[in-house]
Amino acid sequence: MSTLVEPLRMVLLADSSEWAELLGQLLNTIDNPSPLITAPNWEAASSLFDSPDNGLLLATPDRLPSLDQCPLPVVLLLEQEPDQPPAGVSDWLVRSSLNADVLRRCLRYLHEQNRFRYSLQRLAEQDPLTRIANRQGFQALLNARLSECREGGLVLGHLDLDNFRHVNDALGYQSGDRLILQVVTRLSALLQPGDQMARLGSDEFALLLDVGRDPQRAGHLAERITEALAEPYWIDGESLLLGCSLGLAHAHPGETADPLLWHAHIAMQQAKSQQGCAFHFYDERLNRGARSRADLEGELRRALRRDELELQYQPRLCLKSGRIVGLEALVRWQHPQRGLLAPGEFVPLAEESGLIVPLGYWVIARALRDMQWLLGRGLPPLHMAINLSFRQFQDSQLLTTLSRLIEERGVDAQWLEFELTETAVMRRSEQVQQTMQALAQLGVRFSLDDFGTGFSSFVHLNNLPIALLKIDKGFVGGMSDRAENRQLVRAMINLAHNLNLEAVAEGVESVEQLDMLRQFGCDQVQGYLISKAVPLAELARFLVFGMHQPLLSSH
């Protein structure tokens, strides 16, 4: 008999000793190396686990703790088959039909589920191109390091590459990727044990520097970094020069991640005012005139009043028909001084300040107006996907306002689609479910965005009115060179279909990725291979072309 590679630590909460005897006998039969621990109650059982990563709780119904309080996968022990699957548990066992094969299959299923979740978590915290931490992974890492920080021990650097977008536009995104890898190689060569690096965005990096033994090291290293990045890069025989801006901020005991990140960002903006490769240290006395959160918040409020925002639309392609079936609305800010800003540069600020609610209503109203405009030009109706934040879900006027906007524009609500993140649907799940059900009554449908980057209960997802799962571009982008990514994407597509949902792959940039997704049975795709996000007029021309012939062959 084969055993599990990583045995689950099992704790039993049962109302009689018969379950312990039966399970103990069967576990011996299947050569399970992990002992079965019997606990009197959940409080005692929970103290046995430092981490829930490899634990399992087996419980009879009368001993079952609140599933909101239990981070472990739960197997329910029953005396007879239930009329319907028990909500919230991973699996169940019935005494009369329990034997060694049934128990072995149950444990193997839970083991594979744990391994799948671990892989998702690890990939969700790693940048697929560079294999270093991404923004989400770095946030957790930074919080952990700050909790142990002593005065003068850590310096955070925020590095931004100047004019990186022009490289993508001139040479293509694959050349841009090779350039990023060269940057990471140069940075890695300068860092020491105790330093850490992360990729925060397409051309932004975080550097966490350990300067406890040498407080002057940060300045010396900043000079070496800017000198190293000022050297020419060679891409496909072309010599390229890039500027870079490095902002640095000293961490103080008791400081949290957000203020430190903001200080490093302000310092980076100060460095940008200099030409070439430059660095700047944050100093409260010298940076009183720097842009603050309040300044940016005021600018964003004015942007909403002055109509400085605009929507661009990225088409979504049906792989079966080869035709466009949906659009994703993406907001941009045409800043008077800084030019066109992507959502990542101002939406987090809107979330923190509460401006995400009026911003969200502006996006919905503008998207409905543009839907009406497209229909008026004889184009077929398309699903319009709009990102909806958790804060907007909490707004008591959401249903009323949305009903009014839909009625004013005369658009059929069935073509409106709200994209929610896994994090949003798992917070205050009852409230989210009630709001989603109410909106679904209007005809609106929902998609789960960035699937695989959060932690959602499959049982919970099955109870929500979700029509599509959108697979995060981080997994799609790594399919070409990582077998693990291919397996995960295939598993996510199968999961979507098992839940009677459509699977949409984001960030598709190559024919190779498209062919793999078609082979895996993916329903829809979006990404630069189909089209980047474009303004409304350009979108209309694109759609008119697509009306006359499929954009991509379905064979």
- 3-state DSSP assignment of residue 451: strand
Tens-digit pLDDT profile for residues 234-257: 887 777 888 899 999 998 887 788
The dihedrals phi and psi of 107, each to the nearest 5 degrees, come to -65, -40
Contacts of 226 (CB under 8 A, 6+ apart): 244, 246, 277, 278, 279
In whole angstroms, what is the distance from residue 57 CA to residue 73 CA?
6
E strands, 177-299, where? 196-201, 204-210, 233-235, 238-240, 243-250, 278-281
pLDDT tens per residue across span 374-427: 999 999 999 999 998 878 887 888 889 999 999 998 889 999 999 987 666 665
For residue 487, give both structure tokens: 């397996």
Cut 0.75: pTM above it:
no
Residue 1: pLDDT band with limits 50, 70, 90: very low
**24-37, pLDDT tens digit by residue?**
888 888 876 677 88
Tens of pLDDT, residue by residue over 145-168, are: 887 777 667 999 999 998 787 777
Domains of the chain, each with CATH number or no CATH:
9-124 (3.40.50.2300), 135-290 (3.30.70.270), 294-547 (3.20.20.450)
| pLDDT (tens digit per residue) in 468-497 | 999 988 889 888 888 888 998 999 899 889
- DSSP secondary structure string for all residues of 315-355: EEEETTT-SEEEEEEEEEEEETTTEEEPGGGTHHHHHHHTT
* 3-class DSSP state of 275: coil
How many CA atoms within 13 Å lie on the side-chain side of 185? 8
Q: Count each helix (H run) and each strand (E run) in the chain, helices first.
A: 20, 21
Strands in 95-189 per DSSP E: 154-162
Task: Indicate whether 79 pLDDT > 60.
Answer: yes
Residue that the structure tokens 């009306």 belong to: 547
